[in-house]
Amino acid sequence: MVMEVIRIDYLHVQENLPKSSCCIGFFDGLHTGHQALLKNCIAKAKELNIKSGLITFDPDPWRIFFPDRVCRHITTLEDRIYLASVMGIEVMYVITFSKNFAALDVDAFHMLLKKMNVAHITCGFDFKYASKNTGNVDTISSQNYFDVSVIASVNSKNEKISSSRIEPLIQSGKIDLANELLGYMYSIEGVIEHGFKRGSTLLKFPTANLGANPDYLVPSSGVYAGFVYVDDTFYGAMINVGNNPTFKNTKVSIEAHIFDFDQDIYERQVRFFFLKKTRNEIRFDGFEALKKQLQRDIVTCKKVILHEKQYVTKTASLWGAKVFEFK
């Protein structure tokens, strides 16, 4: 199924949009809480014989209201479009976000959804919308343009699953906990760049250096078991995030030693998947000590990957990838 992406200018909504059952939100990460909304949204669409839709916003609202603030997220818009598609959504509505749009009152927001031919809305129990978040589940349930389903809180360990809960887990290196809430492995996309080549020349551990999209959250410094996604294949990898203190670098880099891999992927668009942090970054007294630790790290990372095999398969399936079996 190919999902249709429709850009919406709230002042000039296209005519003849398909009747749809929708969810509304930024949906950063499309985590397991979001997935519960999508499941109900899709079920209602099938029940009513209409399209399942997801309504989101671009540009990022944070960048509109706080242009001087660095805003990083779990997923880019392109990621959200892809994930929504493979999760079964048929239409993605991307509303052009602006301060004027954010100032719409509750009634104007309802009218916009009516113009978009929305027949059903699925929202969370704490859903807020319209100017200064004056809209809530009571106001959206009381209008007469479309039906509404309200979904109870989706919790993990007695706490609501949310993007704001997942973000600090990623930033602090608790990737395995973040992945539990996401329902898949966290990833960062970028282009492979030329590095200092110390990995291949001095250490004999060649690495792929990721020029990461700056919109992504970067995990804390350390070594991670993970994967590099190239040509529809997941290759097991040892990923290092940090400034390589043994070499006294100042810039944070993200580089991966890919197991049993010898392809030239410079200037290629790839994606690094993070499975679990195995240790913090350490400064070593010399190259030999570092090399010995890297050898131990590879063994550890391979063990982690094999232990989490079922989880890895689930993520690879989501991305339509096969998993390369390393030695």
Q: What is the pLDDT of residue 37?
A: 98
Q: Which CATH superfamily is domain 4-160 in?
A: HUPs (3.40.50.620)
Tens-place pLDDT, residues 6-33: 999 999 999 999 999 999 999 999 999 9
Neighbour count for residue 303 (Cβ, 10 Å): 12
Asked if pLDDT for residue 198 goes beyond 90, the answer is: no
What class is the 181-323 domain? mainly beta
Say which amino acid occupies 74: I
* φ/ψ of residue 248, rounded to 5: 60, 40
Tens-place pLDDT, residues 77-90: 999 999 999 999 99
Cα separation, 142 vs 132, whole angstroms: 19
Rg of the chain in Å (alpha carbons): 22
Asked whether 183 and 319 are in contact (CB, 8 A), the reply is no
Give ∠ CA 167-140-81 in degrees, rounded to 5: 40
Asked whether 209 and 242 are in contact (CB, 8 A), the reply is no
Asked if pLDDT for residue 54 goes beyond 60, the answer is: yes
Asked whether 120 and 148 are in contact (CB, 8 A), the reply is yes
**What pLDDT band is residue 246 in, cutting at 50, 70 and 90?**
low
Alpha carbon of residue 267 to chain centroid = 22
Cα separation, 170 vs 188, whole angstroms: 11
Task: Please give the mean pLDDT across all residues of the chain.
Answer: 93
- Is the pTM of the predicted complex or chain greater than 0.85? yes
Helix and strand numbers (H, E) in the chain are 11, 15
Asked if pLDDT for residue 101 goes beyond 90, the answer is: yes
Cα separation, 208 vs 193, whole angstroms: 7
CATH 2.40.30.30 domain locations along the chain:
181-323
Cα separation, 165 vs 31, whole angstroms: 11
Burial of 104 per CB tally in 10 Å (0-12, 13-18, 19+): middle
- With a pLDDT cut of 70, the percent of the chain lying above it is 94
Summarize the confidence of residues 309-325 as an average pLDDT: 93
Regarding predicted confidence, which is higher, 159 or 283? 159
All residues at 6 or more sequence positions from 74 whose CB lies less than 8 Å from its CB, including other chains: 28, 29, 31, 163, 166, 167, 170, 182, 186, 216, 217
**What pLDDT band is residue 50 in, cutting at 50, 70 and 90?**
very high
Cα separation, 231 vs 162, whole angstroms: 32
Q: What is the pLDDT of residue 197?
A: 58
Cα separation, 78 vs 82, whole angstroms: 6
Give the largest CA-CA distance in the chain.
72
Say which amino acid occupies 288: E
**What pLDDT band is residue 200 in, cutting at 50, 70 and 90?**
very low
Instruction: Give the residue among 57, 81, 56, 50 at the shortest CA–CA distance from 146.
Output: 50
Helix residue spans in 183-250 (DSSP H): 198-201
Tens-place pLDDT, residues 273-312: 999 999 998 887 777 888 888 899 999 999 999 999 888 9
CATH 3.40.50.620 domain locations along the chain:
4-160
Helix residue spans in the chain (DSSP H): 32-48, 61-65, 77-86, 99-102, 106-115, 137-142, 163-171, 175-182, 198-201, 287-307, 309-318
